[in-house]
Structure 1
């Protein structure tokens, strides 16, 4: 059962999303590359007035536990615009978590506060173009370089699929020094960071879309490095497991909404003398969705409980990401199928949720990469057990 405080926050978030945010889903400012910045500002102003802006972060700056966060973020995800409005969306939510964990007091004041208050968006610059052999699912392939020059670092490279870079005010840039991976905080825009193009992708819920970016002699003061040179991958792990699970939370909210819409359609639409839901081929799909939804809830809660022990939960988050993303795809696909032609049209949000969930099977690590990582762990654990 969720804690009393999490339940109160979640109920407020759900009421706000359903009553205030959902009507904006047809707003013309929701574009192919995500909602426009003026729409984001308008929604966040309303969230602030309703007391649900950054609801997972308490007034004293502390975070809800991961299990509590799950209850809240699932509700925020009932609309694709909900996380944007409530400031629980990627990449901002993950970046806030990372800065809260490893940022210095000065870095938090300068870079974290604008994110928590919702006046700034952020981007996480890690992935690189596949055509150049850069880092993707394997971050050790990183080509972006950084070298120290006096009291600054100079960064050069190209990044790809950088969510929210267009319009972001805060950036976290990963690059490789002679010591290993590094992370830097940067103020945006910066003339040395050029957006070459915003990619046309299957999803459309994230402000700014996903960009290809050139870093051309970007100079960053040394005090804007997170931690020390060579610690970047360690910090990436601090961020990635919770952020991966947060994606599961938000899109579980989305498919719960899709299930509601598909259920209403199946109960009201008649064919061959009876409501669609009375045909086993339809009713069974909705029943299977209920089972998958419950399993997703349990998987998220289990992984969140491991994170709450202080563990990085690397293997657990991989298992959760695979299980939940694949289940969400099954649910969204069945909702589209139940609704027939209406399901593939823009008349309801179900079509968008289907597209978003399809992209999620790739984002934050494709299913196959997580399975490969888990298989390596199985082999490693077997070796250790037999050697003991």
Structure 2
């Protein structure tokens, strides 16, 4: 089934099941969010809609990158949609990474249950200053050889999905270079210090601060090869950014649709808000942003599916879409006034959910610097 054929079914599922299940009370409620997501996920499984991006041999629908564009946009229209369809981070990019690099025993132990939606995972790269942020090379967490494996020591925060996860992927620096290691929940030396309250509130498993203190893992915990970590991180981040763009376009589009509906009904100076040119201009700018964002996302998805290098285009896409969807949501909130600011409707929650994307997966300023450097070093034509 193609993405264009599947997208209407996803839209109906999101409208009938995911959007009605949304509630401001789920914000930052990690156990409550898990409970609702699992209930929705069983409905998606029964409807044959689960895991559209997961390869068929792992139990998913096996859609290619280009076919995922309309499907993920429809899933992303709800704050709960990506989780319900098992295409939310951090599991979705972790599945992609493990499918490419997990050894046979790691596939059995970690990848297969993760792809089936039986467990959750986390990804721990970011550290408090002066550790790693937007530059993965700044990792300070260490991996030291010990008999039978490795000792991990360091502090992570914004470990996406850590609360309630069965295992995670930890970025650490070994003598041979930055490497990735599996760490299982509850093992000695791994402490979940706190859940970090953030502007966005519907991330599955939240954002957690972790302490790794004499945390011992076996030789089998190494993902990929020693010193290969930076390459693996990049292989995880590029599709993650791409999928983020697809989902967040859907969320921003929903916010503007709600604003348009509101403007048709709300009277202002004896006529609907929709009749005022300033309102029409805000709506027009939102449509322009979303049109450009969709075209860029589809273009990069096609190139990625063709096996082309998308590092430069991925950076440009991430900067543009992260800023475009924030502009769209901000206009939607402005158009709906007090109603938009309140939690009586979802626009305020959507606005908060979208804003951090300008920081997550590399801040806009870092991507702009990289884009500019490549333009000069490669003498790229604008």
Q: TM-score range by the shorter chain?
A: over 0.9
Q: Matched residue of 2:51: which SS?
A: coil
**2:130 aligned with 1:163:** no
**Structure 1 residue 195 corresponds to structure 2 residue 161:** no
Using the TM superposition, give the Cα deviation of residue 190 of structure 1 relative to its aligned residue in structure 2, in angstroms. 2.4
- Per the TM alignment, residue 309 of structure 1 is displaced from its structure 2 partner at its CA by 2.1
Distance in 1 of aligned mates of 2:154 and 2:241: 25
Distance (Å, rounded) in 2 between the aligned partners of 1:36 and 1:26? 10
Q: In the alignment, is the contact (CA less than 8 A) between 2:188 and 2:216 conserved in 1?
A: no
Query: Does the Cα contact within 8 Å between 1:33 and 1:210 map onto a contact in 2?
Result: no
Matches of 2:301 and 2:346, distance apart in 1? 28
Q: Is the 1:9–1:55 contact (alpha carbons within 8 Å) kept by the matching residues of 2? A: no
Deviation string, structure 1 residues 305-353 (Cα, Å, up to 9, x no partner): 2211213411111000001111101100000000011011111111111
Partner residue in 2 for 1:154: 151
- 1:170, distance to aligned residue in structure 2 (A): 2.1
- The residue number in structure 2 matching 1:286 is 283
Between 1:53-62 and 1:94-103, the stretch displaced more is 53-62
The TM-score normalised by the length of structure 2 is 0.95
2:12 is the alignment partner of 1:15: yes
- Matched with 2:94 is 95
CA RMSD of aligned residues (A): 1.6
Give distance in 1, aligned partners of 2:137 and 2:55: 36
Which residue of structure 1 aligns with residue 373 of structure 2? 376
| Paired residue total | 378
Question: Which one of 155, 171, 174 corresponds to residue 174 of structure 1?
Answer: 171
Q: What are the superposed Cα offsets for residues 190-240 of structure 1, whole Å, 9 maximum, x if unpaired? A: 232111111111001112211111011111111221111101111111111
The Cα shift of 1:107 comes to: 1.3
Q: In the alignment, is the contact (CA less than 8 A) between 2:24 and 2:343 conserved in 1?
A: no
Distance 1:302 1:94 in 2: 20
Unmatched 5+ stretches in structure 1: none
Shift, 1:33, TM fit: 4.8
1:295 partnered with 2:292 = yes
Residue 55 of structure 2 corresponds to residue 53 of structure 1: no
TM-score normalised by structure 1 residue count = 0.94
Show structure 2 runs of 5+ residues with no match: none
Q: Contact conserved, 2:33 with 2:202, CA < 8 A, in 1?
A: no
SS in structure 1 at match of 2:22: helix
Please say if residues 2 and 63 of structure 2, whose CA atoms lie closer than 8 Å, have aligned partners that are also in contact. Answer: no
In structure 1, distance between residues paired with 2:183 and 2:89: 18
What's the CA shift for 1:187? 2.2
Worse-matched range after superposition: 334-343 or 191-200: 191-200
Tell me which residue corresponds to 2:28: 32
- In the alignment, which residue of structure 1 is the partner of 2:72? 73
Aligned equivalent of 1:349? 346
Give 1:100-115 correspondences, 5 Å limit.
100-115=99-114
Q: Is the 8 A contact 1:198 1:209 kept in 2?
A: yes
The CA deviation at 1:27 is: 7.0
Is 1:238–1:312's contact at 8 Å kept on the other side of the alignment? no
Greater shift, 34-43 or 155-164, is seen at: 34-43
1:36 counterpart SS class: helix
Pick which of 111-120 and 73-82 moved more.
Answer: 111-120
Q: Please say if residues 33 and 200 of structure 1, whose CA atoms lie closer than 8 Å, have aligned partners that are also in contact.
A: no
Q: Equivalent residue for 1:128? A: 127
1:87 aligned counterpart, secondary structure: coil
Conserved 8 A contact 1:17-1:79:
yes
